[in-house]
C-alpha cells in the first residue's frame, strides 16, 4: 500500500499541490502536517509512520518535506527500511523499492557520512592547532588560583561542610568536585 505524507510550514498554504500529486501517484491513505521542517513534533508524520506496515511505501512530494537535513532524512529512511517499508520521493524520482533507488539513496548516505567525517577532522585539526599555540579551549575557570588554594585548604582541613565551602567560594558542589579531581590528576603525574 502507498501511504502519502505532505508537509507545509505554518506560513505557506500550498498543501493542495502535494496532496493532489500524492493521490495521482496512487496513495491510498494521506497524512499531513502544517509545521516547519525544523520542528521535531510532527503529529501527521508520526501517525503515518504508525500506520505503515511491512511492504508499504511512504511517498512524499519532495525530499525536503520529510527531513530537516540529509543526516535526519537518512536516519528516517533507514528506520523505515528496518521495518520493511519502502520510500518514494516524487520530484527527485527516488524509490527505495528498486535497486536503482536504493543505490541513489546509499550514495546520499555515503556523502552525508563523508561530510560528517570532514567536519570531525577539521574540528580536531583546529583544536590541535589551538593547543599547539597554548590554548586549551573550554569554559574559563570560575576560580582564580587564590580561590582554588582557599577551596583546597578548607576541604583538606575537614572543618567545614561541603555546602559551606561551596557557598563561601561561590561554586556548586559539582564544580568543587571537578576542581578536586583536577588536583588529584595533577598530583598523580
**Nearest-5° angle of CA 76, CA 73, CA 55?**
45
69 belongs to the catalytic site? no
**588536583: which residue's cell?**
183
DSSP strands (E only) in 44-146: 57-60, 86-89, 94-95
Catalytic: which of 9, 69, 99, 142? 9
Give rounded-to-5 percent helix, strand, coil for the chain. Answer: 55, 10, 30
What is the rounded CA–CA span in Å between residue 7 and residue 64? 9
Q: Are the beta carbons of 34 and 45 closer than 8 angstroms? A: no
List the catalytic residues: 9
Amino acid at each position: 500500500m502507498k501511504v502519502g505524507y505532505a508537509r507545509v510550514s505554518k506560513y505557506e498554504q500550498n498543501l493542495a499541490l502535494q496532496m493532489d500529486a500524492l493521490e495521482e501517484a496512487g496513495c491510498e491513505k494521506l497524512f499531513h502536517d502544517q509545521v516547519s521542517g525544523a520542528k521535531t513534533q510532527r503529529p501527521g508524520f508520526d501517525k503515518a509512520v504508525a500506520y505503515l506496515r511491512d511492504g508499504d511505501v511512504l511517498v512524499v512530494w519532495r525530499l525536503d518535506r520529510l527531513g530537516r537535513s540529509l543526516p535526519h532524512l537518512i536516519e528516517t529512511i533507514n528506520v523505515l527500511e528496518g521495518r520493511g517499508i519502502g520510500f518514494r520521493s516524487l520530484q527527485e524520482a527516488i524509490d527505495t523499492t528498486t535497486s536503482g533507488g536504493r543505490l541513489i539513496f546509499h550514495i546520499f548516505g555515503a556523502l552525508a557520512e563523508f561530510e560528517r567525517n570532514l567536519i570531525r577532522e577539521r574540528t580536531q585539526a583546529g583544536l590541535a592547532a589551538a593547543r599547539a599555540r597554548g590554548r586549551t579551549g573550554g569554559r574559563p575557570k570560575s576560580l582564580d588560583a587564590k580561590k582554588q588554594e582557599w577551596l583546597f585548604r578548607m576541604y583538606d582541613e575537614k572543618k567545614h561542610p561541603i555546602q559551606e565551602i561551596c557557598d563561601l567560594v561561590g561554586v556548586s558542589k559539582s564544580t568543587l568536585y571537578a576542581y578536586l579531581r583536577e588536583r588529584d590528576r595533577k598530583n598523580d603525574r
